[in-house]
Chains A and B, each alone.
Chain A
Amino acid sequence: MGKILLKNIENSNSADINEYLKIGGYKSLIKAFEMQPKDIIGEIRESGLRGRGGAGFPTAMKWSFAFADTKFPKYLICNADEGEPGTFKDRPILEKNPHLLIEGMVISGYAIGAEHGYVYLRGEYPYAKEVLNKAIAQAYEKNYLGDNILGENIKFHLTVYQGAGAYICGEETALIESLEGKRGQPRSKPPFPVNVGAWAMPTIINNVETLSNIPYIISVGGAGYSKIGARECTGPKLYSVSGCVEKPGVYELPMGTILRDIIFNYAGGIKSGKKLKAVFPGGISTPVLPADNIDCPMDFISMPRFGSMLGSGAVIVMDESVCMVKVAYRALKFFEHESCGKCTPCREGTDWLRKILERIECGKGREGDIELLSEVVDIMYGRCFCPLGDSAAGLVMSMIKHFRNEFEEHIRDKKCKNQK
């Protein structure tokens, strides 16, 4: 498979519009403008594209809900709040291929009837902001953005909105709250953003990677695109691999590539000849997998059968020297810090889980702590307002399930073997 999303990024000038035009950039936009919006949505439906933010919701279905809503104006938001630990897949698009995203957004805006788009960019990406703003200015100059794009009666404006370091704003309704200038706390659903979103108007929120697939789908057609990847999960996928591997990085591979292959073939295997112990397949919000359960196709449909999820495709690899209690403790410190405080199970649950894990890791664990962890997990699971609390609970649950002996050892020996 040739590169689609990371095409041309070895070119040090790839973010420049002229370089993008040289490799056929903005041709899909011209083609899309010759199509009816509903036909564009039809192509996306046929492509089988699913949202790349983590949930894997069919993109065309989301679009058609907003398309069918008769309220105007409608808004298109690109979720560039890439905050899931282990995830750095959108960064190369934002920093090296911004015009692919812009082209995807203009086409998407035209398809759903939105005349204004916002890129909600995480605050921790100052360089991406610079690149993106420059690319947007170039696109205005060349008339790919503006009031009469390419002389047609089609309007689309694009604004970058900088987040300010809150993980929860990756959740779409929290993102909207933040974009409206408020604390980023999730809203109750329904109503869904497709009907009542930003400024109470129909709003489509798609991930950077999702929107960056649109130009290619328009170029080869939905049927052509659907030949890439797995049967019900089509297309290319960006996997970001980090941790104890020889060649960490972002790999563009067909959706459904086997996890073992990603780690041992593409990422060069475990660093310094050590043994694999565990993997987070899609960021720390996805349940951990032990070393003997990595022959799973990395797509949205297959991963739950193996006891985890695809999430953002952020593969975090841990070798035999990594202490799983410590990982769980560090992860819960994160979830506790990022819990928005809106709902009790998450606010209190993450705090409890962190405290118990901290004392186990520090050699102060008590008999019955593992049972206590399970009890807190049970109370949290399915009762949190948004997926953040469930993710924290799921992580602890999977850690105890696969590495219970390490927890027991910490409590029994009153220390962590890895601590000096």
Chain B
Amino acid sequence: MFNETVLKEIDEIKGRYPDFRSALLPALYVAQREFGWLSHEAMSYVARTLNLPEAMVRGTASFYSMFKHKEAGRHLIQLCTNVSCMILGAERLVDFLRTKYGMEPDNTTQDGRFSLVIMECIGACGTAPAMLVNTDFYDNLTEGKIEEILDKYK
């Protein structure tokens, strides 16, 4: 279950909205931060904390692509391949991540270092191709630049 500090944090979030149910998405983010991903157990903690049916919590969580439903690697790479990024070679970068690091979309590398998710537009079309590593933003990507960046994430 969540510790006291987290319970207090969720309680504070509830107070920001006219109806406590609005705290569901923020609480799921908190659970994801605490456990790294949303296991059934984590979602049932959220359900109990907010006094909501578990089915409702799972139904909501599964709708949004930023909630992770399996254990992720130490670093999450979110690479955009939507039209603006695609035009400027994002698919080549997916191939590069595959051959150089053994990454597959929606999978984690054997050593648990990286998880790769293909994103639908991260609003960096003017400096495409672009990706997020955890919450760090990188753009104007090339194979060489990716190598340099990923060296920082052990």
CB within 8 Å of B: which residues of A?
73, 82-88, 91, 122-127, 159, 161-167, 178-184, 199, 240-244, 248-250, 280, 284, 314, 316, 318, 322, 326-327, 330-331, 334, 337-338, 340
- The interface bits of chain B over 115-150 (1 if a CB of A lies within 8 angstroms of the residue's CB, else 0) are 000011111111110001001010000000000000
Whole-angstrom CA separation of A87 from B122 in the bound complex: 9
Instruction: Sort A-B residue pairs by CB-CB distance and give the 8 closest, nearest first.
Output: A164-B64, A181-B24, A242-B125, A165-B66, A165-B65, A181-B21, A183-B63, A242-B84
Contact of A199 among B19, B23, B65, B132 (CB under 8 A): B19
Give 17 A-B pairs besides A126-B132, A178-B25, A182-B24 with Cβ atoms closer than 8 angstroms.
A73-B18, A82-B123, A123-B64, A124-B78, A159-B16, A164-B64, A166-B65, A199-B19, A242-B84, A243-B88, A316-B87, A322-B87, A327-B86, A330-B82, A331-B83, A334-B82, A337-B120
Which residues of B lie under 8 Å from residue A280 when comparing CB positions?
A: 83
B26 at the interface (CB under 8 A from A): yes
B31 at the interface (CB under 8 A from A): no
- Complex contact A182–B65 (CB within 8 A): no
- Most chain A beta-carbon neighbours within 10 Å: one of B18, B59, B84: B84
Which residues of A lie under 8 Å from residue B66 when comparing CB positions?
A: 123-124, 164-165
- Complex contact B87–A314 (CB within 8 A): no
Q: How far is the CB of A385 from chain B (nearest CB, A)?
A: 16
Instruction: Knowing A85-B120, A178-B25 are in contact, say whether A166-B126 is a contact too (CB < 8 A).
Output: no
**CB-CB nearest in chain B for A314:** B125
**CB-CB nearest in chain A for B24:** A181
Which residues of B lie under 8 Å from residue A244 when comparing CB positions?
A: 87-88
B108 at the interface (CB under 8 A from A): no
**CB-CB nearest in chain A for B134:** A126
CB within 8 Å of A: which residues of B?
16-19, 21-26, 28-29, 59-60, 63-67, 78, 81-84, 86-88, 119-128, 132, 135, 137
Q: How far is the CB of A343 from chain B (nearest CB, A)?
A: 15
Instruction: Knowing A162-B29, A322-B87 are in contact, say whether A124-B123 is a contact too (CB < 8 A).
Output: yes
Instruction: Knowing A242-B126, A243-B88 are in contact, say whether A85-B82 is a contact too (CB < 8 A).
Output: yes
Which residues of B lie under 8 Å from residue A250 when comparing CB positions?
A: 126
Which residues of B lie under 8 Å from residue A122 when comparing CB positions?
A: 123
Can you show 8 pairs from A to B with CB atoms below 8 A apart?
A: A87-B123, A88-B126, A161-B25, A165-B120, A167-B121, A181-B24, A243-B87, A330-B82
- Complex contact A181–B60 (CB within 8 A): yes
Instruction: Knowing A166-B65, A242-B84, A316-B84 are in contact, say whether A180-B123 is a contact too (CB < 8 A).
Output: no
Whole-angstrom CA separation of A330 from B80 in the bound complex: 12
Which residues of A lie under 8 Å from residue B86 when comparing CB positions?
A: 326-327, 330
Whole-angstrom CA separation of A123 from B122 in the bound complex: 9
**CB-CB nearest in chain B for A337:** B120
- Complex contact B87–A83 (CB within 8 A): no
Q: How far is the CB of A90 from chain B (nearest CB, A)?
A: 8
- Most chain A beta-carbon neighbours within 10 Å: one of B67, B125, B127: B125
- Complex contact A162–B25 (CB within 8 A): yes
Which residues of A lie under 8 Å from residue B63 when comparing CB positions?
A: 166, 183-184, 340
Q: How far is the CB of A186 from chain B (nearest CB, A)?
A: 13
**CB-CB nearest in chain A for B126:** A248
Q: How far is the CB of A408 from chain B (nearest CB, A)?
A: 22
Whole-angstrom CA separation of A248 from B91 in the bound complex: 20
Q: How far is the CB of B95 from chain A (nearest CB, A)?
A: 11
Whole-angstrom CA separation of A181 from B13 in the bound complex: 12
Which residues of B lie under 8 Å from residue A178 when comparing CB positions?
A: 25
- Complex contact A183–B60 (CB within 8 A): yes
Which residues of B lie under 8 Å from residue A249 when comparing CB positions?
A: 126
- Complex contact A162–B26 (CB within 8 A): yes
- Complex contact B22–A124 (CB within 8 A): no
- Complex contact B84–A85 (CB within 8 A): yes
Whole-angstrom CA separation of A280 from B81 in the bound complex: 17
Q: How far is the CB of A107 from chain B (nearest CB, A)?
A: 22
- Complex contact A166–B64 (CB within 8 A): yes
Q: How far is the CB of B113 from chain A (nearest CB, A)?
A: 21
- Most chain A beta-carbon neighbours within 10 Å: one of B59, B60, B67, B124: B60
Whole-angstrom CA separation of A182 from B22 in the bound complex: 8
Contact of A180 among B22, B88, B127 (CB under 8 A): B22
Whole-angstrom CA separation of A58 from B139 in the bound complex: 36
Whole-angstrom CA separation of A88 from B122 in the bound complex: 9
Whole-angstrom CA separation of A127 from B137 in the bound complex: 8
**CB-CB nearest in chain A for B64:** A164
Whole-angstrom CA separation of A240 from B124 in the bound complex: 10
- Complex contact B29–A179 (CB within 8 A): no
- Complex contact B64–A85 (CB within 8 A): no
- Complex contact A86–B125 (CB within 8 A): yes
Whole-angstrom CA separation of A327 from B83 in the bound complex: 6
Whole-angstrom CA separation of A184 from B22 in the bound complex: 12
Contact of B128 among A199, A242, A340 (CB under 8 A): A242
Q: How far is the CB of A398 from chain B (nearest CB, A)?
A: 14
Instruction: Knowing A159-B16, A164-B66, A180-B22 are in contact, say whether A243-B132 is a contact too (CB < 8 A).
Output: no
Which residues of A lie under 8 Å from residue B81 when comparing CB positions?
A: 330
Whole-angstrom CA separation of A182 from B62 in the bound complex: 11
**CB-CB nearest in chain B for A82:** B123
Q: How far is the CB of A136 from chain B (nearest CB, A)?
A: 12
Q: How far is the CB of B139 from chain A (nearest CB, A)?
A: 10
